[in-house]
Amino acid sequence: MTSKNSYRFLYIFLILMLFTATAHADTEFTIEQFTTADGLANNTVRYIMQDSKGRFWFATSNGVSRYENGKFVNYHPSRDKSVIGLRDQRTKGLHEHDGKLWINTSTGYSCFNLHTEAFIDFEKKGIKVPVFPRENTKEIKDKQGRVWRITENDGLYIIYNNGKTEHFTTSSKNNALPTNALKCIYQDIDGGIWIGTDNLGVSKITVMQNSGIEYLLEGENVRMVTKLNNGDIAVGSRAGDLFIYNNNMTQQASQTHYSYNTYCMYEDGEHNIWRGTKGGGLMINDDSIAGLPHNEIYSILGTNGDYAWVGTFGGGLAVYDIHTNSVKGTFLNHSYGSKRIRKIIEDKDKQIWIATSDGVYVCNSKTILNGINKEKEFKHLCVENGKLYSNEIRTIFKDSKGRIYIAEAGEGFAVYDNGNISHFTQDDSLVNNMVQCFVEDKQGFIWISTEFGISRFNPAKNKFTNYFFSKNMLNNVYSENCGTLLSDGRIVFGTNNGLIVIQPSIYNASEKTTDIDIEDITINGQPMKRGIIYVVSQWWKSPWAIVVLIVIAGIIITIVINVRRNNSRFHKAIKALTTKKTELAAEKDVLEAEKGMLVAEKDELTAQKEELSEEKEKLTRDVKIRRKAEQSAEDIEFINQVEQIADEQIANPDFSADDFADKMGFGRTIFFRKMKELTGYSPKEFIKQKRIHRAAFLISTTSRTIAEISYMVGINDPLYFSRIFKAEYNCTPTEWRKKVVEE
């Protein structure tokens, strides 16, 4: 090879190596920023950690912030010296140990009990400060082996296994940082990256997963994904198009446009295609079906060759007789919520489960079809009887073990297993509380799509792993009841921007849903009990027998060696016990004295409680409605109901005058006029007054921060809260607290 050719080869080789390194080094992620405007205590964050309950804690230059369910709670030093609080607002380190959060501040340590959620005087209780781990908060290694390194003034570096490095700053074309001054970095249990900055709050980096992912029909807002009897996959879009794919979605068989969106499909034993639409009723082979109670059809279930259960969104449940081509009966039309049906399934015991906006109804199909007691035979799971957290049920699903999964809108989901109900929310690490669809993969994991993100649920361990697969936000927003398992083991979900096809085996490689259970083993046809089994011809040669013999021999030898020492040790033990008895008697006297002090403190607290009750009653009277002298019993009942609803919704920041009118059962205009006439306030003014006066009571009777109280009364902007409080009481919330303390 000539020298010229050698250089050419080397040049090409280097170009290829550079291209390969670049191709493997591209990390796609999104950045979400949290600052004081979102409730963070201070924009300079020195340390980040996630506790055992999944909550995030931030050590800032002005106290500690806790982040949970999209909200911040802040902790500062207490102005009341009798109340234990944070030692110093300048915090720099956090560590969880033995159920307590230890906080390193500029003037010493503080201890926060994670169970009681209160600071404790650890020095008085004799609790030692644990050794803080010497974690490198400037660099972490993620689950893919990439090293994330932050700098004080030069942004972020990502270093790959192959040595390639990516550099991100405020001027980066893609993934630009909010600031180059970075203080600390942390990786949460789901693989998310959190970076504390100097003066610009916290950046949450979500790394996009792209292994085994495929996108189809991008640009389409998908409203239905279902598998037909022959394995074909039917996909309906909001635009009215119906797409049919083969069983692995490698080829599109057809595309048909309809005037009404297709929301559900069912193929019966005669290969007739039933198509439920939004607004166009039910079609069988494009023939319209008459007699249904509503023209929005969200779910169809065929239980046998005789009947089909049709769930309408507005008219309740209809049972359609296939042989007579007529509606046999309609059910669940007794309330607004029960009429709105989203999903119908059949469980392992042939019972029908119906997801509605009034909880879940369960019935025996034969009993209902025979007309015995009709709707009295429906079992009801709802908030009112304590079974569910939300009555708005988005979907319902049965897994291979017969467990029923119930999507509780805004409250995560519930699992019904042999009569027992368990609930899972974002507090348990679910990615989002608005669950849209469940799909079980071939390894037994449950994949859960939500309004933002996907969770993979391990039902054997109640463990979640969360995923975001795209930087395009619409690709992470999933559609209701749009998902199915393909024949090749992949999963397809519908989104607001087409379809996403996932290869679960890539993400399941390091985890299993079940362990080997000895109850599954039989010998000579007889099931064996849980444990370890050894089958040997001579029992004394079994490992257990050998271990037992060694232990027995050791015990005998120990007894023989120690028998001569026992006399002297016995006398020493008697002497030690006598001394201990004297010490215990002294401790008893101390405890009796402390008991007397506690009784005195209890009496003092009781007196304080009575004073606070009087203050509460005074403040409560301030909140009362300006009642007129003469009112009918109907008006009094109206006012009592108004007060009750306002008290129930006071912590709900989204509770509006329209919501108020709905709960009272009045139209907006009539409700406004009646409120003004009977109370002197408009609905909006009344809610505002309730919030302000409740806040005044909490400020007077608790040591919570003004920001915390603002959130507790449903006002998410502490600055706005201070402004309207001052307008009502002619002083700021802080001045009000000081005034009450002085009085």
Considering the domain architecture, whether residues 200 and 86 belong to the same structural domain is answered as: yes
| Residue ending a domain, choose from 207, 240, 266 | 207
CA 736 vs. chain centroid, Å, equals 37
Q: Does residue 685 form part of some domain?
A: yes
Cβ proximity of 409 and 434 under 8 Å: yes
Backbone angles phi, psi at 508, to 5 degrees: -95, 0
Q: What tens digit of pLDDT does each residue of 242-266 get?
A: 999 999 898 999 999 999 999 999 8
Alpha carbon distance 103, 65 (integer Å): 11
| Residue ending a domain, choose from 188, 207, 226 | 207
Alpha carbon distance 388, 643 (integer Å): 26
How big is the CA angle at 8 (ends 7 and 14), to the nearest 5 degrees? Answer: 85
| Residue ending a domain, choose from 174, 207, 240 | 207
Considering the domain architecture, whether residues 201 and 59 belong to the same structural domain is answered as: yes
In this predicted structure, what is the pLDDT of residue 542? 55
The number of beta carbons lying within 10 Å of the beta carbon of residue 184 is: 24
Residue 477 has pLDDT above 50, yes or no: yes
Domain count, the chain: 3
Considering the domain architecture, whether residues 668 and 595 belong to the same structural domain is answered as: no
Q: Does residue 390 form part of some domain?
A: no
Which H or E run contains 434?
A: none
Cβ proximity of 314 and 296 under 8 Å: yes
Give Dmax over CA atoms of the chain in angstroms. 111
687: containing domain: 624-742
Q: Does residue 586 form part of some domain?
A: yes
Q: What tens digit of pLDDT does each residue of 26-52 get?
A: 677 888 899 998 899 999 999 999 998
Considering the domain architecture, whether residues 111 and 85 belong to the same structural domain is answered as: yes
Q: What is the CATH number of the domain that holds 182?
A: 2.130.10.10
Give DSSP secondary structure letters for 106-121. TTEEEEEETTTTEEE-
Backbone angles phi, psi at 544, to 5 degrees: -65, -40
Considering the domain architecture, whether residues 60 and 129 belong to the same structural domain is answered as: yes
Q: Does residue 487 form part of some domain?
A: no
On whether the pTM is more than 0.75, the answer is no
Helices and strands, number each (H, E), in the chain: 12, 46
Q: Does residue 542 form part of some domain?
A: no
Percent of residues in the chain assigned helix, strand, coil, to nearest 5: 30, 30, 40
Q: What tens digit of pLDDT does each residue of 278-305 get?
A: 999 999 988 999 999 999 999 999 877 7
SS3 of 233, please? strand
Alpha carbon distance 430, 471 (integer Å): 20
Q: What tens digit of pLDDT does each residue of 438-469 get?
A: 999 999 999 999 998 999 999 998 989 888 88
In this predicted structure, what is the pLDDT of residue 553? 82
Alpha carbon distance 284, 267 (integer Å): 9
Q: Does residue 449 form part of some domain?
A: no
Q: Does residue 644 form part of some domain?
A: yes
Least confident of 144-153, 364-373, 473-482, 734-743: 364-373
Which H or E run contains 579?
A: helix 566-623
How big is the CA angle at 164 (ends 161 and 170), to the nearest 5 degrees? Answer: 120
Residue holding tokens 């944070």? 86
Least confident of 223-232, 408-417, 622-631: 622-631
Considering the domain architecture, whether residues 599 and 682 belong to the same structural domain is answered as: no
Q: How many residues does the structure list for the chain?
A: 743
Considering the domain architecture, whether residues 139 and 59 belong to the same structural domain is answered as: yes
Which H or E run contains 546?
A: helix 543-562
Distances in Å between the Cα of 417 and the Cα atoms of 36, 403, 446, 459 are: 44, 5, 15, 11
Considering the domain architecture, whether residues 133 and 195 belong to the same structural domain is answered as: yes
| Neighbouring C-alpha atoms within 13 Å toward the C-beta of 499 | 23
Considering the domain architecture, whether residues 591 and 644 belong to the same structural domain is answered as: no
For residues 645-650, give the mean pLDDT. Answer: 89
In this predicted structure, what is the pLDDT of residue 571? 65
Considering the domain architecture, whether residues 41 and 125 belong to the same structural domain is answered as: yes
Considering the domain architecture, whether residues 631 and 588 belong to the same structural domain is answered as: no
Tokens of 21: 């390194």
Residue 489 has pLDDT above 90, yes or no: yes
Considering the domain architecture, whether residues 630 and 715 belong to the same structural domain is answered as: yes
pLDDT class for 544, splitting at 50, 70, 90? low
Q: Does residue 519 form part of some domain?
A: no
Q: What is the CATH number of the domain that holds 649?
A: 1.10.10.60
Which H or E run contains 30?
A: strand 29-34
